[in-house]
Structure 1
Amino acid sequence: MTGGNQGIGKSVARTLAEAGSDIVIIDLAESTQTAAQIAEDFGVRAAAYVCDVTQPEQVAEVMNAAAQKMGTLDHLFNNAGIVLHKPALELSPQEWLKVINVNLNGVFFVAQAFARYLVATGKPGNIVNTASMSGTIVNIPQAQASYNASKAAVVHLTKSLGVEWAQHGIRVNSISPGYIATELIGDVREDWKRQWIEAIPFQRMGTPEELGGAVLYLLSDAATYTSGCDLIIDGLFTTV
């Protein structure tokens, strides 16, 4: 999985490990301690690799190294992402490209490298990409056009890859979390947070732990006829 050192990725890694899965964390941050703690807590094998997902050569190298170390790769939780709250009129080209590179290009490069491994070894597999409810609606009051656009693209990329790779026995789905209380929103203005919560019918933000079951389902044999699906998990935010 990518982006597994903290937040949603770390929580989902623990959910998958609790279900008996060995874990490989691929993150820009050093994640050896996170992997070691997962291995200790759940009695599974866990490894960690530092990688910039926007660099396809690095991604391919890490994918090969992980496959050799673990013996096989079966599932991918493609989760690395960043957000930038900045009005579109003020965005520099570099800022726009940074968000798109991580959130869209990085998702594609990792999915591509994983699928190439599966096809080369002649085995089926499953991918779950992390999109966002921001790919379906436009968030307010914060301005985040770059993030919204990148996540909308992830949803359609998921559908496109699902269709292309069905012939190879590779299922591709995505989850679209709503407002989730993670480190990613730690520096967000408190008045924004209050406005979000007031607009959520559940009257609270979600927790990373509330996403793990959805990922587990989509990666499992319980979802063998499900591909190209985007599962919105947002406490009803996009429903009203």
Structure 2
Amino acid sequence: MKLFDLHGDVALVTGAGSGIGQAIAIGLAEAGADIACFGHASKGGLDETAHRISALGRKALVLTGTVTSETDLAVAIERTETELGALTIAVNNAGVAAAEPAETLSLEKWQKLYDVNVNGVFLSCQAEARTMLTRRKGSIINIASMSGSIVNRGLTQAHYNSSKAAVIHMSKSLAMEWADRGLRVNIISPGYTLTPMNKRPEVADQVRIFERDTPMGRMAAPEEMVGPTVFLASRASSFVTGIDLIVDGGFVCW
């Protein structure tokens, strides 16, 4: 359908080297967009993502840096616009996860996680908006988590949960601030997802619990975040801003 057609769009995806970010970058290319793949050089995977995008006949640009650096983000957006065209879609997926009992959690670990998950998302939105607002056109999609709305049973992750709650409310605040200037901001909150981190043998027992506790009886595949992203990026959601789209197999209903 033309409502979901992204031909002529240019998207920047952070954390595009693996998991949900990689799936979304490739999925947006399948819908017709050219993609700037941004990520940390040491984590790898960006070249593979770009290769798969190019195989679809779309343009791909690899950009290395960190979302905690205003300079890295500014350079990435400048290169995106120079080499691919005007930025119209941004998916801020880069983030880190961790678990530790609150009573032993150090301030250093708390701040390190917040630096990426909250500061990094804000800095990304800020940099993207500076160019999108000049054209009064754009869609920013921030990847949060159902953990921003609920507390996961059996997991001690007050820092992670609260960081994702911050992303959700920050995104709604930005959506309202920019709503009358042509820029939409929305959130996707995945439930338990079978990313490479959850495929490790040492977490097999935990994965079975995740599957048991999800009403649909399984974890999501990273590719199942593509449809919601394309919807929020495209004209199909032209009157949608400030929503938290929870994609969790029904988990938060229980």
TM-score, normalised to structure 2, is: 0.90
Asked if 2 retains the 8 angstrom alpha-carbon contact of 1:141 and 1:192, the reply is no
Asked if 2 retains the 8 angstrom alpha-carbon contact of 1:36 and 1:47, the reply is no
| CA distance in structure 2 between the aligned counterparts of 1:157 and 1:226, rounded to whole angstroms | 16
Q: 1:27 aligns with which of 29, 35, 39?
A: 39
Secondary structure of 2:33's counterpart equals coil
User: Offset of 1:5 from its aligned partner?
Assistant: 0.6
User: Offset of 1:139 from its aligned partner?
Assistant: 0.7
User: Offset of 1:129 from its aligned partner?
Assistant: 0.3
User: Offset of 1:192 from its aligned partner?
Assistant: 2.1
Write the mapping of 1:1-240 to structure 2, written as runs, cut at 5 A: 1-29=13-41, 30=44, 31-40=46-55, 42-120=56-134, 122-187=135-200, 189-240=203-254
| CA distance in structure 2 between the aligned counterparts of 1:194 and 1:19, rounded to whole angstroms | 33
Asked if 2 retains the 8 angstrom alpha-carbon contact of 1:206 and 1:235, the reply is yes
Asked if 2 retains the 8 angstrom alpha-carbon contact of 1:24 and 1:46, the reply is yes
Larger mean CA deviation between 204-213 and 182-191 belongs to 182-191
Gaps of 5+ in 2: 1-12
| CA distance in structure 2 between the aligned counterparts of 1:82 and 1:185, rounded to whole angstroms | 14
Secondary structure of 2:36's counterpart equals strand
In structure 1, the partner of 2:3 is none
Secondary structure of 2:139's counterpart equals strand
Secondary structure of 1:100's counterpart equals helix
- One-letter identity of the residue aligned with 2:57: G
User: Offset of 1:119 from its aligned partner?
Assistant: 2.3
Asked if 1 retains the 8 angstrom alpha-carbon contact of 2:133 and 2:182, the reply is no
| CA distance in structure 2 between the aligned counterparts of 1:222 and 1:34, rounded to whole angstroms | 26
| CA distance in structure 2 between the aligned counterparts of 1:118 and 1:199, rounded to whole angstroms | 40
User: Offset of 1:37 from its aligned partner?
Assistant: 2.5
> Considering only aligned residues, what root-mean-square deviation do their CA atoms show, in Å?
1.2
User: Offset of 1:88 from its aligned partner?
Assistant: 1.2
- One-letter identity of the residue aligned with 2:39: D
Gaps of 5+ in 1: none
| CA distance in structure 1 between the aligned counterparts of 2:172 and 2:216, rounded to whole angstroms | 29
Per-residue CA deviation, residues 130-155 of structure 1 (Å, 9 max, x unaligned), is 01000000012121111101100011
User: Offset of 1:10 from its aligned partner?
Assistant: 0.7
Per-residue CA deviation, residues 80-124 of structure 1 (Å, 9 max, x unaligned), is 01101111112111211111111111111011100001123x241
Q: Quick one: percent identity of the two aligned structures?
A: 42
TM-score, normalised to structure 1, is: 0.95
User: Offset of 1:34 from its aligned partner?
Assistant: 2.1
Asked if 1 retains the 8 angstrom alpha-carbon contact of 2:26 and 2:52, the reply is no
Asked if 1 retains the 8 angstrom alpha-carbon contact of 2:144 and 2:168, the reply is yes
| CA distance in structure 2 between the aligned counterparts of 1:72 and 1:54, rounded to whole angstroms | 23
Per-residue CA deviation, residues 19-64 of structure 1 (Å, 9 max, x unaligned), is 1110111101342332123112x10000010011011122112111
Task: Give the count of matched residue pairs.
Answer: 238
User: Offset of 1:193 from its aligned partner?
Assistant: 1.9
Asked if 1 retains the 8 angstrom alpha-carbon contact of 2:40 and 2:64, the reply is yes
